[in-house]
Structure 1
Amino acid sequence: MNGADVLCDVLLANDVTVCFANPGTSEMHFVAALDRKPEMRCVLGLFEGVVTGAADGYARMTERPAATLLHTGPGLANGLANMHNARRALSPMINIVGDHASYHLALDAPLTSDIESLAAPMSNWVGRVDGPADVGPAAKAAFRAAMTPPGIATLILPADAAWGEVGAVPPGKVKLAPPPAVDMNAVRKVAAAIRAAPGRAGMIVRGRAARADALEIAGQLSTACDVRLFSEVLIARMQRGRGRVAPTRIPYPVDAATALLRDIDVLVLVGAREPVAFFAYPGKPGRLVREGCQVLTLAGHGDDLQAALEALRDELGIKPSQQTVVATAFPDEATPSGKLTEDAIALSVARKLPADAIICDEAITSARRFFALSAFAAPHDYMMGTGGSIGGGIPMATGAAIACPGRKVINLEADGSGMYTVQGLWTQARENLDVVTIVFSNRTYAILHGEMRNVGVSAIGENARRMLDLDHPALDWVLLAKGMGVEAARAETCKRFDVLLDSALSRRGPFLIEAVL
């Protein structure tokens, strides 16, 4: 038995049963150990950003970590952008980064790098295995770090620690500490503030507070005490749809966000952070709440958010039978026709969404109406990239489909963002994942055109346009998808889009629709 076997056994003993991988020479002993463990599902990604993004999507849906397998410092570096998104989503993840044998590092071979320094900014915990005997304890420490509270753990595995022989080691299940008890002082402080600001209190829910059961409690608080419910700009995971409480999403544009929060005197955070502007803009505020707004934390990451909401409901004297306001019938709106538009796509997807589907939204500027419409769609889970790093959509959908094989996954994808990790389509084809990818093919970085206006640039010249547009040549998503093994078709009219969407939703397996705008 070698160190790589021990690492596999510890992972499996703690229900880490999926490994998203892009291995290299330093990881071959771990690959061989995985080959001896058929209980571990190994999923190849053709780029490390696909690997880490898929692990993020998997974790959001299962609430437990997958392992990733990355090749030395450069392999880790290729996966950092989607590790950043996963860290902002508070997703549990265990990255296993192979390294040279410990005695080889002094030779400064070409792939030698400072892995710890590369990993640290995007990880909540970084550890290096000291030798074969240390693999078991280090693996358990990585699992504990990934789960309490959930976050990114990066374990560096030198090749000689992987191939080194060790005696039989009982893998053992790691005992995790329960979440801390509800802070009743915080509960009483929040309750008093809500009572003192009737009609002028708001609450931002995130994490487990954005699941249906917890949203029901938040909705009771909202109805009984006139508290306005919000979600953050970027949503890690929220349960949406008919019959569920539907928080208002805080807008991305600074002016719209400050207008929404202008009359809030008390803002309560439940698993969330105070909202701030995405970027600094000349003459605009960084904080989105008005000066003098009291910002209070009811419970934070790692706390039992639903229990905190229940305690607040009790403190305010609200009965669990209190009715809530939930989304019901779909708005009476005519079916679009003619040339395909962004709004027509949003409306069609929301109306046709299958029950219990999973939406992975990286359409950026193109699907702005979908979130509001999703309140009236069939019950589903809704996820976005949370760190602002684009290229997470296709991998996130890939991981979500592996996590929930019985559920339809729909990826709303911007064309520019999709090109960052288009390789994820190949993984969807290889694993025969039930993902419908809808590419909003406007052939531009539309969000950057908006950002140019936001910083005061009214006219865009040729040099700027060449950095913001995706034409000459235009991307052909049908050919790109087919080259990756995914069936695909193009829609330029509302009617054609509806036909393709109906077909994709009626069958299993990956399918891509290029929606030309």
Structure 2
Amino acid sequence: MNGADMLCDVLLTNGVDVCFANPGTSEMHFVAALDRKPQMRCVLGLSEGVVTGAADGYARMADKPAATLLHLGPGLANGLANLHNARRARTPMLNIVGDHASYHLQHDAPLTSDIESLARPMSHWVGRVAGAQDVRPRTEEAYRSALMLRGISTMILPADAAWGEVGPADLAPVTLPERPVVSPEAVGAAAAALRSGKRTVIILAGRALRAGALETAGRISSATGAALFSQTSDRTERGAGRVAARPVPYNIDLAVEALREFEVAICVGGKQPVGFFAYPHKPSTTLQPGCAVIELAGHEHDLAETLNLLAETAGVRNDVPFTPNRFTQPEIVAPTGALNADSITIALARTLPENAIICEESITSAGKMAVLAPGLSPHDHIPLTGGAIGIGIPLATGAAIACPDRKVIALQADGSGMYTLQGLWTQARENLDVVTVIFANRAYAILQGEMRNVGVKDFGRNARRMLDLDNPDLDWCSLARGMGVEAARVDTIDGFTDTLKAALAQKGPFLIEARI
């Protein structure tokens, strides 16, 4: 038995049974060990951005971490953008990054790099295995940290630690400590604010946007009059019968206006909302300067229990009714007119199957989906969290592996989709039930909007060439078919509606290129 075998056994003992991988020479002993463990599902990604993004999507839906296997520092670096998104989503993940044998590092071979320095900004825990005997304790520490910190653990595995011999061991699942308890003073202050008569908003993030926690927040809102808002989070359980929290708008002016009236903000699962970017003569934070902010609980707390405690302290009885979203999906009128973001999302809303998973990287093409979502069949929504584009296709890939019996729908902008379109190949290889809708506007439309936000209204030749995606146009159908995914192009809303119905009725990956 070698260190790589021990690593596999520790992962499997703790329920980590999926490994998204793009390995290299230094990881071959680990690959061989994985080959001896049929309980581990190994999923190949053709770029490391697919690997890390898929591990993110998997963990968001499985509520447990996957492992990734990455090749040295450059391999890790290729996956860092989607590790940034996973870090912002507080996704538990175990990155296994191979390195040269420890005695070989002194020779500064061509692929030698400072892996720790590359890993640290996007990881919540970084550790290096000292030798084969160190594999078990280091792996257990990485696993424990990923769950307790709700974040990314990156473990560096030198090749000689992987091939070094170890003795067999009686393994048991890692014992996790109790989660930290929220401050009684903060709970008391939040409860007092709810009873004060001041205009109060509860801003939810993270696991406070799961159905049970939302119901408790809904009871608090019904009893006290507090408004409910949400920030961009890893996963929101939406739809009829659930409680809707209004998203804080992305646009800084709209966000400030939406939150202008509130005198107290109670933040559950995150800090107070801030603007995505700074703009001249505009604020960085979206709450009014005089608004009192109570950061009640963070990602490390049990947020559902925190809301229960807040309700109890504020005197909100368990039998206080919440206001569930009414089921309005059958009332949505079929879209007509031009094929655009609004008509596409209306067509999708009319046909959304129950228990679907929507993975969203539509950027500027969100259309009417957020407005219609509360009245649709219950579903999960997992978005781009950290703003680093190129996660949509991998996110859907991981979600489909976590939930093979649920339909996954990826709403994908064309520009960001090109970053990690290799994920389509993984969807075809694994026969994943994903419908990808490409909003093909042939532009980085989000950047065109940001240019206008900083006062540039007229685009010259250089700006257009950096922000347009034409000449030549991207052919998404050819790209998808070249990776084994069935695809169709549509130019009308009737064509989109018919194609969407057909795609939802079949199993396996399908891509719709909607030219808007």
TM-score between both structures, scaled by the size of structure 1: 0.98
Q: Distance in 2 between matches of 1:485 and 1:446?
A: 28
Deviation at 1:197, TM superposition (A): 3.7
Deviation at 1:204, TM superposition (A): 1.1
Please show how residues 94-133 of structure 1 align to structure 2 within 5 Å: 94-133=94-133
Deviation at 1:235, TM superposition (A): 2.8
1:482-514, CA deviations, whole angstroms, 9 ceiling, x for partnerless residues?
001000001111111111110111111000000
Please show how residues 7-406 of structure 1 align to structure 2 within 5 Å: 7-198=7-198, 200-232=199-231, 234-330=232-328, 332-406=331-405
Deviation at 1:64, TM superposition (A): 1.0
Q: Distance in 2 between matches of 1:210 and 1:334?
A: 29
Deviation at 1:184, TM superposition (A): 2.6
Alpha-carbon contact 2:124-2:149 (below 8 Å) kept: no
Q: Tell me the secondary structure at the aligned position of residue 375 of structure 2.
A: coil
- Of 337-346 and 373-382, deviating more is 337-346
Q: Distance in 2 between matches of 1:149 and 1:301?
A: 8
Q: Distance in 2 between matches of 1:92 and 1:481?
A: 30
Whichever residue aligns with residue 444 of structure 2, its letter is Y
Alpha-carbon contact 2:241-2:327 (below 8 Å) kept: no
Q: Distance in 2 between matches of 1:71 and 1:381?
A: 33
Whichever residue aligns with residue 98 of structure 2, its letter is G
Deviation at 1:169, TM superposition (A): 2.4
Deviation at 1:444, TM superposition (A): 0.2
Q: Distance in 1 between matches of 2:131 and 2:309?
A: 47
Q: Tell me the secondary structure at the aligned position of residue 512 of structure 2.
A: strand
In structure 2, what is the equivalent of residue 502 of structure 1?
501
Percent identical among aligned pairs is 61
Alpha-carbon contact 2:208-2:269 (below 8 Å) kept: yes
1:436-495, CA deviations, whole angstroms, 9 ceiling, x for partnerless residues?
000000000000000000011111101000000100000011110000100000111111
Alpha-carbon contact 1:6-1:171 (below 8 Å) kept: no
Alpha-carbon contact 1:127-1:138 (below 8 Å) kept: yes
In structure 1, what is the equivalent of residue 515 of structure 2?
516
Q: Distance in 2 between matches of 1:221 and 1:202?
A: 11
Q: Tell me the secondary structure at the aligned position of residue 16 of structure 2.
A: coil
Q: Distance in 1 between matches of 2:221 and 2:350?
A: 27
Alpha-carbon contact 1:360-1:411 (below 8 Å) kept: yes
Q: Tell me the secondary structure at the aligned position of residue 246 of structure 1.
A: coil
Alpha-carbon contact 1:258-1:289 (below 8 Å) kept: yes
Q: Distance in 2 between matches of 1:432 and 1:314?
A: 47
Q: Distance in 2 between matches of 1:209 and 1:429?
A: 34
Alpha-carbon contact 2:69-2:96 (below 8 Å) kept: yes
Q: Distance in 1 between matches of 2:139 and 2:448?
A: 46
Deviation at 1:249, TM superposition (A): 0.4
Q: Tell me the secondary structure at the aligned position of residue 203 of structure 1.
A: strand
Q: Distance in 1 between matches of 2:109 and 2:376?
A: 55
Q: Distance in 1 between matches of 2:470 and 2:91?
A: 36
Q: Distance in 1 between matches of 2:448 and 2:44?
A: 35
Whichever residue aligns with residue 207 of structure 1, its letter is G
Whichever residue aligns with residue 246 of structure 1, its letter is A
Q: Tell me the secondary structure at the aligned position of residue 21 of structure 1.
A: strand
Alpha-carbon contact 1:17-1:66 (below 8 Å) kept: yes
In structure 1, what is the equivalent of residue 431 of structure 2?
432
Alpha-carbon contact 1:49-1:80 (below 8 Å) kept: yes
Q: Distance in 1 between matches of 2:29 and 2:453?
A: 52
Deviation at 1:335, TM superposition (A): 1.8
In structure 2, what is the equivalent of residue 441 of structure 1?
440
Gaps in structure 1 of 5+ consecutive residues: none
Whichever residue aligns with residue 91 of structure 2, its letter is S
Q: CA RMSD in A?
A: 1.0
Q: Tell me the secondary structure at the aligned position of residue 68 of structure 2.
A: strand
Alpha-carbon contact 2:248-2:255 (below 8 Å) kept: yes
Alpha-carbon contact 1:337-1:493 (below 8 Å) kept: no
Alpha-carbon contact 1:357-1:410 (below 8 Å) kept: yes
Does 2:489 align with 1:490?
yes
Q: Tell me the secondary structure at the aligned position of residue 204 of structure 1.
A: strand
Q: Distance in 1 between matches of 2:46 and 2:359?
A: 20
In structure 2, what is the equivalent of residue 5 of structure 1?
5
1:152-204, CA deviations, whole angstroms, 9 ceiling, x for partnerless residues?
00000000110111111233211001212343322111011122244x10011
Q: Distance in 1 between matches of 2:297 and 2:76?
A: 33
Q: Tell me the secondary structure at the aligned position of residue 375 of structure 1.
A: helix
Does 2:467 align with 1:461?
no
Alpha-carbon contact 1:136-1:171 (below 8 Å) kept: no
Whichever residue aligns with residue 209 of structure 2, its letter is A
Alpha-carbon contact 1:21-1:45 (below 8 Å) kept: yes
1:125-144, CA deviations, whole angstroms, 9 ceiling, x for partnerless residues?
00000011111111111111
Aligned residues: 515
- Of 182-191 and 415-424, deviating more is 182-191
Deviation at 1:333, TM superposition (A): 4.9
Q: Tell me the secondary structure at the aligned position of residue 277 of structure 1.
A: coil
- Of 169-178 and 209-218, deviating more is 169-178
Q: Distance in 2 between matches of 1:375 and 1:4?
A: 47
Deviation at 1:149, TM superposition (A): 2.3
Q: Distance in 1 between matches of 2:327 and 2:127?
A: 52
Deviation at 1:351, TM superposition (A): 1.6
Q: Distance in 2 between matches of 1:491 and 1:122?
A: 39
Runs of 4+ more than 3 Å apart? 331-334
Whichever residue aligns with residue 74 of structure 1, its letter is P
Deviation at 1:339, TM superposition (A): 2.7
Q: Tell me the secondary structure at the aligned position of residue 370 of structure 2.
A: helix
Q: Distance in 2 between matches of 1:356 and 1:83?
A: 27
